[in-house]
Amino acid sequence: PEIFAWGLRNPWRFSFDRVTGDLWVGDVGQSAWEEIDLVTRGRNYGWRRMEGFHCYNPSEGCDTSPPLARPVLEYGRAVGYSVTGGFVYRGAEMPSWYGAYLFADYGFGTVFAFRAGEAPSANPVATAPGNVPCFGEDDAGELYVATGGSSGRLYRLVETAPEPLPAAFPTTLSATGCFSDLATLTPAPGVLPYAVNAPFYSSGADKARFLSLPEGGHIGFSGTAPWTFPAGTVLVKHFTLGEGEGARPVETRLLVVGEGAVRGYSYRWDEDGADATLLEGAAVEDVAWHDASGAAHTTAWPYPSRPQCRACHTEAAGGALGVSARQLDRPAPDAPGQNQLARLAALGLFDPPPPDEPTWRALPSPSDAAEPVAERARAWLDANCSGCHRPGGPTGTDLDLRALTELDHTGACDAPPVKDDLGLADARVIAPGEPARSVLLARLTRLDGLRMPPLGSDGFDVAGAALVEAWISGLTSCDDDEEHGDD
């Protein structure tokens, strides 16, 4: 066979410019960088010595001299995590983009435009309502975007007037009107506090949660499926590091439900704790804090970009995470002794209302030692992994890590890994009774680009990983799920 070019890791869609004949390729990176290449015959594009413009193997000091061909652009995890190659636009209906190469990030659903010789922009020109596995081009040169998953659609790209600038969104947390008193996090009228049974791990931070519905809006209730929220709903999550007098507010995130999509906004708290400022992109900041004993600590706190929010808040999971019957079936934080779901129902927030007899079972707290290990481990995986690993999710695998899914139907138990065995001998996603062969556990304890979850934390959840390890150790088969039971 003839080799046209090499050094490409995982080309995901390529196309020829119908005017110049240039070959454009989207090449999916390993763990840190995605790249776009202009491919010519006989060139070496660097993998696995390089990933994008960076050394990969070895990680430092690699020889990057010619004949290695460099990509025309790269982007990192703040922008996306899996490139989808597109087309050079040569149609007539979008004159502003004529001659630009349009491509997408599969995971974030964002579409970008790039012109050779110009500095690339991290600002998308469009955002699809789902993952983008491919583009299409018709005879006239007009472009189409396909979205994947169970609700996949085909969309035509059209040129529209620019959306209002993000500056229209409040640039300080105090200006959002979510709180009547920032110092005490007292919610404003119409903003309700809520709590969950199994929280997502975020660098060990404590969290306070709030929600607000638009006037006349209702939550579409379900016992087992994702809830639906009216456009204009705002979900607030506030992060604090430390305890007692050493506690420090770090970040407050707003998830705003729009028509067919959710958008995330991150506010970084000022050092004096008086207010928080809207961030325009991803950032990492060393945050100093003290624990209850007064000991000093520093956490490299990752503030997500707005596209990164979409990586976890997937369409398959309903956009909003952690707001479900199984998570909120617990005591209300602002009404001791009252069930939280009953309280929200009494306030008229649901349509339809919850049934008198529950059709679901509440998730246990992963930290509650009185609950069975299997129940707790499945709850931890549900909270930390099932936003993506579920039917219709963006992972490209068949894993279903929702707690309501029986173990032998998760696609994980005694199943060979689809993407990477991480060097484990005779690896399985979950090897019953053998944590050392279980890729799922290995990913939970990594800190590189092969970690899971892939973002949202400085380190990994030591207690959560230990819980999952104990659960796997106690499994004897894929049918050994009696403690979990049916929903």
Write out pLDDT tens, residues 234-256.
999 999 999 888 899 999 999 99
Same domain, 193 and 339: yes
Mean residue pLDDT of the chain comes to 91
Of 162, 190, 210, the residue that ends a domain is 162
Q: How confident is the model at residue 487, as a pLDDT?
A: 41
Q: Which domain holds residue 284?
A: 167-346
Q: How confident is the model at residue 483, as a pLDDT?
A: 43
Q: How many domains does the chain divide into?
A: 3
Within a domain: 362: no
Same domain, 149 and 242: no
Same domain, 128 and 187: no
What's the CATH code of the domain at 62? 2.120.10.30
Same domain, 237 and 135: no
The 10s digit of each residue's pLDDT in 193-225 is: 999 999 999 999 999 999 999 999 999 999 999
Same domain, 446 and 310: no
Same domain, 177 and 155: no
Report d(CA 356, CA 64) in Å as an integer.
Answer: 66
Beta bridge partners of 288: 298
Same domain, 449 and 416: yes
**Dihedral over Cα of 124, 129, 132, 137: its sign:** negative
Q: How confident is the model at residue 485, as a pLDDT?
A: 41
Within a domain: 390: yes
Same domain, 274 and 339: yes
- Cis peptide leading into 230, omega within 30 of 0? no
Same domain, 384 and 248: no
Give the DSSP letter of residue 281: S
Contact between residue 444 and residue 435 where contact means Cβ atoms under 8 Å apart = no
Within a domain: 279: yes
Q: How confident is the model at residue 174, as a pLDDT?
A: 97
Give pTM, 2 decimals.
0.81
> Which of 37, 10, 7, 5 lies closest to 24, judged by CA?
37
Q: How confident is the model at residue 420, as a pLDDT?
A: 85
Within a domain: 479: no
Same domain, 61 and 104: yes
Same domain, 175 and 315: yes
In the chain, which residues have pLDDT < 70?
Answer: 149-151, 161-167, 480-487
How many other CB atoms sit within 10 Å of the CB of residue 39? 18
**Dihedral over Cα of 120, 36, 132, 228: its sign:** negative
Q: How confident is the model at residue 458, as a pLDDT?
A: 82
| Cα-based distances in Å from 323 to 29, 149, 223, 227, 385 | 33, 22, 11, 7, 15
For residue 476 the two structure tokens come to: 């004897």
Within a domain: 408: yes
Same domain, 179 and 305: yes
Of 135, 162, 189, the residue that ends a domain is 162
Q: How confident is the model at residue 317, as a pLDDT?
A: 84
Within a domain: 3: no
For residue 403 the two structure tokens come to: 């707690």
Within a domain: 5: no
